[in-house]
A and B are shown apart, each in its own frame.
Chain A
Amino acid sequence: MAETVQMEPPVLEVRGFSCRYPDSETWVLQDLNFTVNRGETLLILGPSGCGKSTLAISLKGLIPHTIEAEVRGTILVEGRAITQETFNGETIAHMGVVFQDPETQLVMPRVVEEIAFGLENICVPTDRMEPRIFSALQEVGLEQEKMRYTDTLSRGQMQRLALGAVLVMEPSLLILDEPTANLDPLGSSRFFTTLARLKQERKVTIVLIEHRIDLALPLVDRVLIINSRGKIIADGEPRSVFGKDISRLEEEGIWLPAAVRIAEELRLSGLSLDSSPLFLKESEKIFGALLKHGSGARRENPLDGSSVPECRVLTSTGGPESGKRMETTGMPAIEVKRVGYTYPRGTRALRDVTLSIDRGSFLALVGANGSGKTTLARLLCGLLHPQVGSIFLLGREIRRVTGSQLVHTIGYVFQNPEHQFVTEKVYDELAYSLKRHVPDDEVDKRIEGLIRTFALEGYEEANPFSLSQGQKRRLSVATMIALDQPILILDEPTFGQDMVSARALMKLVEHLHKRGITILFITHDMALVLDYAQEVAVMNDGQVIFRGTPAELFQGDKVLASASLAPPFEVRLGRRLGDPMMFKRKDRSG
């Protein structure tokens, strides 16, 4: 077997490939050279905006054959270059692409028609379709949904359907462009389980483009890293890529595997580590031995060096670090009392929600898709009105609060920053609410302050849509606190962010919290809960099923499992070593 693999030409060979779009000076991708062998899974990592998606559609031949762009170099698929002549049904079928957004990549009304679409395009005779469709549906676990309308599926199901719709064409190469970026943890893990089975049973070759990697890592044979200028900076097995010079990867904004990041922090705190582990079991062995050896019987928090008590305080009292805690007055910032909400179409989003959030809290709201988190947030900021029960903001019933007062009380940062931009200039975006509510002479002064705080200097005249992902996100937060709103709700704040901008953002949120703003953030990212939240509320099926500290939440799996959530790598590792919270991140600089 081994010989035949070597004899065969690589499934994909990229030679000196560069690409730039019309009207653009800069090359999105620069002189890429790499190969993908049969049966191999290649993970391509890079900061947001590094041209990963451009690469995906270039590999497929869509650039330059259907999308206009200037290219140099060649891409060989199964040993053949894609040219105008060979860009045909056969080449198309060789490579299947799954894109990031589940909704916009589905084109047909029903599940079965979506699967059939590719076969129709490459003229597979009608009587040969059914068996292929059936096996594709089976492979992605959607046999039961065959006749359903695609827009009634969950996002996780949509994404598996998109996978099925390319599998049916029996591709020898699968290109996946951030396939789980828009899914909840359950949807993501199901997607990767499906992929793992395909890899094992069908020996498919996979090019996986991602920027969060812990779920993907067990599948990966090789890692390729592209930097923000579109150049390859690392290519090799995960162990060798993540084994050395990690600081360079971090500077580039690359998400590192949790184990690698922990190892790096341990190294920085002065412990010596020969090799970085990647997976849970080896991490347990290596870190376990190291911590026992390095710090004797003292249970030191390895990421903080000094602050053992901090961890203890968290675990024992459940209270947040005392130094950071705000003065809480008797009146809670948000009080939700037995609220129910049913959408006009009959979906019962909230059953009976009671939740009280003190002033100065830093609370994470977690739960699977459809558990009611976003509905609750929309009720809090007045986009929806409670049908049952009542909501109090700073002690006032929300029904008695006027629209203008509400705008001054609560800011709501959307999941996708692009959805909330309402003007065509960064300056106007910041001025939008200010102009309506603040005296004119004060507007400029406030905007200046916001621009500085959110590091947007020089972009005042830019179009919000032209900003980088990180800048867009910062701008979206800035617009929501422009009026000094005392309560800020953030919906998936790290959505679509690379590691550098995600961390910069959370630091900013912590800064706002220190200024006294009550923070409520909705997230799927359990590592974010571990690292930043002081309290957590878990929602499931329209109810709050847990309220407590992250330490309490991560003690057991019961609550998490009943809400279809899973603890992050750091917690699973910490548990094995005796303390679920021991790998909570501390930003030394902050």
Chain B
Amino acid sequence: MIFRNYIEGNSFLHRINPVIKLLAFSLLLIVPTLFLDPITPACFLLLSFLLASLLGKISPLRLVRNMAVFALLSLGILMFNTLFFGGDKINILFHLGPLYIYREGIFFGLSVALRLLCVTTYSAVFVATTDPTLLASSLVHQARLSHNIAYAILAAYRFLPILQRELSQIRDAHHIRGGYREGFAARLSRIRRYGIPLLSNGIRQAERMAISMDARGFGISSGRTYYRITKTKFSDYVFLVSALAISVTIPLILARFGLNSGFLAGVAESLVGQ
């Protein structure tokens, strides 16, 4: 599960204040999605891997493994758009029997797939280098989020594996009673039949957790203290400013060579006087 893929460490990225990191990464993740060419997201994708391995001490292989599902999905998008491209088809590259492959198709497929990959990698790097408890603490201290909400998020994080175990128990229960069938229709009816007990068991478990929190005085006083406190350091701001600088510089350089497209590309081009 992508949400629970925090990798223990003490790298530069690990030490960046979580909220600042969230801001910086959001920037690096949003900018490439605003361009319609494949080159911009490709550059940002490359950057994410560099960030992960140089500043986060996370090997590219590990990163790929953490986001394997999305990598496959992107590949699917690329294939689909390449084969069944519906836009203006001008340049035929080659054909396999009745299937014609157009340059525009590959171009479009790549741009969608790479943008999706960009969103995924930055999220994966963020999750891998951010201790959930520190994130919660930082959301309270730096982002002024209510601590009730922050701790509810943390409890939900603890709750995920419990829910997962519940689900596998329900699946086993059906299996053992001979109620397990293959096929699409069976799959659909499973969602309904598993959903109700999953929900009712989930609520029961959540109730227990809430009682345990109450019993230890959660929400009893309006304030609270923190065992792990997050502060912002000079290096956090350096990191944020660098991220901003990079996410502006990459499109500008690409625009200089006329390599990107989309509305913002026009803006960038006019800025660099192309």
A contacts, CB < 8 Å to B: 57, 60, 62, 66-67, 87-89, 92-93, 96-97, 99, 101, 103-110, 112-113, 116-126, 129, 133, 150-151, 162, 165-166, 169, 378, 381-383, 403-404, 407, 411-412, 414, 418-422, 424, 432-433, 436-437, 465, 479-480
Selected from A88, A123, A414, A418, the residue in CB contact (under 8 A) with B223 is: A123
Question: Which DSSP category, helix, strand, loop or mixed, fits chain B's interface?
Answer: helix
Selected from B177, B209, B227, B228, the residue in CB contact (under 8 A) with A407 is: B177
Q: Which B residues, 198 to 230, have Cβ-Cβ distances below 8 Å to chain A?
A: 200-201, 205, 208-209, 211-221, 223-229
CB <8 Å contact, B221 and A104: no
A96 and B205 CA atoms in complex are apart in Å by 20
When distances are taken between beta carbons in the complex, the residues of chain B under 8 Å from A107 are: 151, 154-155, 158, 209, 212-213
Selected from A105, A123, A133, A407, the residue in CB contact (under 8 A) with B176 is: A407
Asked if B197 is at the interface of the complex by the 8 Å CB criterion, the answer is: yes
Minimal beta-carbon separation of B208 from chain A (angstroms)? 4
**On chain B, which size bracket covers the interface?**
35 or more
Known: A113-B133, A436-B179. Contact between A169 and B216, CB under 8 A?
yes
Selected from A121, A129, A432, the residue in CB contact (under 8 A) with B221 is: A121
When distances are taken between beta carbons in the complex, the residues of chain A under 8 Å from B174 are: 422
| Contacts between chains A and B (CB distance < 8 A), count | 152
CB <8 Å contact, B226 and A436: no
Please, could you name 21 A-B residue pairs with CB atoms under 8 Å apart, sorted by A? Answer: A87-B220, A89-B221, A92-B215, A105-B212, A107-B154, A118-B217, A119-B225, A119-B227, A120-B225, A121-B221, A123-B225, A124-B225, A151-B161, A162-B212, A407-B177, A418-B201, A422-B174, A422-B197, A432-B179, A433-B177, A465-B200
Known: A97-B215, A121-B216. Contact between A108 and B223, CB under 8 A?
no
When distances are taken between beta carbons in the complex, the residues of chain A under 8 Å from B220 are: 87-89, 92, 121-122
CB <8 Å contact, B205 and A122: no
When distances are taken between beta carbons in the complex, the residues of chain A under 8 Å from B151 are: 107
CB <8 Å contact, A165 and B221: no
CB <8 Å contact, A112 and B217: no
Known: A99-B208, A125-B225, A129-B227. Contact between A166 and B216, CB under 8 A?
yes
A122, closest chain B residue (CB) = B217
A231 and B233 CA atoms in complex are apart in Å by 61
Q: Which B residues, 86 to 127, have Cβ-Cβ distances below 8 Å to chain A?
A: none
When distances are taken between beta carbons in the complex, the residues of chain A under 8 Å from B231 are: none
User: Closest 4 CB pairs between A and B?
Assistant: A407-B178, A116-B227, A105-B212, A92-B217
CB <8 Å contact, A113 and B227: yes
Asked if B169 is at the interface of the complex by the 8 Å CB criterion, the answer is: yes
When distances are taken between beta carbons in the complex, the residues of chain B under 8 Å from A382 are: 175-176
CB <8 Å contact, A110 and B133: yes
Q: Of B176, B209, B224, which is in contact with the most chain A CB atoms at under 10 Å from its CB?
A: B176
Asked if B69 is at the interface of the complex by the 8 Å CB criterion, the answer is: no
CB <8 Å contact, A404 and B215: no
A67 and B214 CA atoms in complex are apart in Å by 10
Minimal beta-carbon separation of B224 from chain A (angstroms)? 5
CB <8 Å contact, B170 and A422: yes
Given contacts A414-B169, A436-B178, 5 further A-B contacts (CB under 8 A): A169-B216, A419-B170, A422-B174, A422-B177, A433-B177
CB <8 Å contact, B216 and A117: yes
Asked if B157 is at the interface of the complex by the 8 Å CB criterion, the answer is: yes
B contacts, CB < 8 Å to A: 132-133, 151, 154-155, 157-158, 161-162, 169-170, 172-180, 193, 196-197, 200-201, 205, 208-209, 211-221, 223-229
A166 and B132 CA atoms in complex are apart in Å by 23
A101 and B210 CA atoms in complex are apart in Å by 13
A465, closest chain B residue (CB) = B200
B221, closest chain A residue (CB) = A89
CB <8 Å contact, B177 and A432: yes
When distances are taken between beta carbons in the complex, the residues of chain A under 8 Å from B170 are: 419, 422
When distances are taken between beta carbons in the complex, the residues of chain B under 8 Å from A169 are: 216-217
A99 and B201 CA atoms in complex are apart in Å by 18
Selected from A103, A403, A419, A436, the residue in CB contact (under 8 A) with B173 is: A419
When distances are taken between beta carbons in the complex, the residues of chain B under 8 Å from A436 are: 178-179
Selected from A89, A96, A109, the residue in CB contact (under 8 A) with B133 is: A109
When distances are taken between beta carbons in the complex, the residues of chain A under 8 Å from B173 are: 414, 419-422
When distances are taken between beta carbons in the complex, the residues of chain B under 8 Å from A117 are: 216, 218
When distances are taken between beta carbons in the complex, the residues of chain B under 8 Å from A404 are: 178
Selected from A121, A125, A150, A422, the residue in CB contact (under 8 A) with B217 is: A121
Selected from A88, A104, A120, A433, the residue in CB contact (under 8 A) with B227 is: A120
CB <8 Å contact, B221 and A123: yes
Known: A407-B178, A422-B170, A422-B174. Contact between A108 and B221, CB under 8 A?
no
A330 and B151 CA atoms in complex are apart in Å by 61
A383 and B180 CA atoms in complex are apart in Å by 11
CB <8 Å contact, B216 and A118: yes
Minimal beta-carbon separation of B231 from chain A (angstroms)? 12
A60, closest chain B residue (CB) = B215
A422 and B224 CA atoms in complex are apart in Å by 42
A481 and B86 CA atoms in complex are apart in Å by 58
When distances are taken between beta carbons in the complex, the residues of chain B under 8 Å from A60 are: 215
CB <8 Å contact, A121 and B212: no
When distances are taken between beta carbons in the complex, the residues of chain A under 8 Å from B200 are: 465
CB <8 Å contact, A109 and B215: no
CB <8 Å contact, B178 and A403: yes
A489, closest chain B residue (CB) = B176
When distances are taken between beta carbons in the complex, the residues of chain A under 8 Å from B179 are: 422, 432-433, 436
A437 and B162 CA atoms in complex are apart in Å by 33
CB <8 Å contact, A121 and B218: yes
When distances are taken between beta carbons in the complex, the residues of chain B under 8 Å from A129 are: 225, 227
CB <8 Å contact, A108 and B158: yes
A308 and B37 CA atoms in complex are apart in Å by 90
CB <8 Å contact, A126 and B177: no
A586 and B197 CA atoms in complex are apart in Å by 40
